[in-house]
């Protein structure tokens, strides 16, 4: 279902509607792996919720290609904090990563606010098309933590 949600998000964007291509991998990882990626590639200490590697950037504007690493441990912790399911939090992180691949930046406060607005708007649109409850209902997908 996560794949379907991400595909729906991508299909709604102009870059994809114009027949351009995308090649995106989404990895669900634990805290140790995301911490390793965060420290070795971004030179930040500790875990992160989501890390996106853009393999195209500005060199080929007709394509989207990259990897999104989502930390399930962070999703579980943040889901408790915000009183949502961890699955819904994973969807949020995937959309956040896709927005990075679209060129959104969250380093400066103004840019972060713009990106967050787009993220929330997109999640609201997607929630009309997809039943988040189905994500939660898949008992095989529930982590043991």
Domain-by-domain residue ranges, the chain? 2-141
Looking at the chain, the whole-number percentage of residues with pLDDT higher than 90 is 64
Residue 61: the pLDDT is 59
Mean of pLDDT over the chain: 87
Residue 124: the pLDDT is 93
Angle at 84 between CA 78 and CA 87, to 5 degrees: 80
Q: Is the pLDDT of residue 139 over 60?
A: no
Q: How is residue 117 annotated by DSSP?
A: H
Contact call for residues 100 and 64 (beta carbons, < 8 A): no
Q: What is the pTM of this model?
A: 0.86
Residue 15: the pLDDT is 55
Q: Which two tokens stand for residue 26?
A: 């989404």
Cα 142 to Cα 18, 23, 87, 136: the distances in Å are: 37, 27, 8, 8
Taking the alpha carbons of 12, 15, 20, 25 in that order, is the dihedral positive or negative?
Answer: negative
Q: What is the pLDDT of residues 78-114, one digit of tens each?
A: 999 999 999 999 999 999 999 999 889 999 999 999 9
pLDDT bracket for residue 18 (50, 70, 90): low
Nearest to 61 by CA among 22, 5, 106, 105: 22
CATH 3.40.390.30 at 2-141, yes or no: yes
């Amino acid at each position: 279902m996560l794949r379907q949600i991400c595909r729906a998000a991508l299909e709604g964007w102009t870059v994809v509607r114009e027949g351009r291509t995308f090649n995106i991998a989404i990895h669900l990882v634990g805290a140790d792996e995301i911490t390793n990626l965060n420290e070795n590639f971004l030179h930040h200490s500790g875990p992160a919720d989501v890390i996106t590697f853009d393999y195209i950037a500005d060199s080929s504007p007709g394509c989207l290609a990259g990897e999104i690493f989502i930390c399930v441990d962070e999703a579980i912790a943040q889901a408790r904090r915000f009183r949502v399911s961890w699955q819904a939090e994973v969807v949020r992180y995937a959309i956040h990563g896709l927005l990075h691949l679209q060129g959104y930046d969250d380093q400066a406060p103004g840019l972060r606010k713009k990106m967050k607005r787009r993220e929330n708007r997109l999640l609201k649109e997607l929630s009309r098309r997809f039943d988040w409850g189905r994500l939660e209902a898949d008992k095989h997908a529930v982590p043991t933590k």
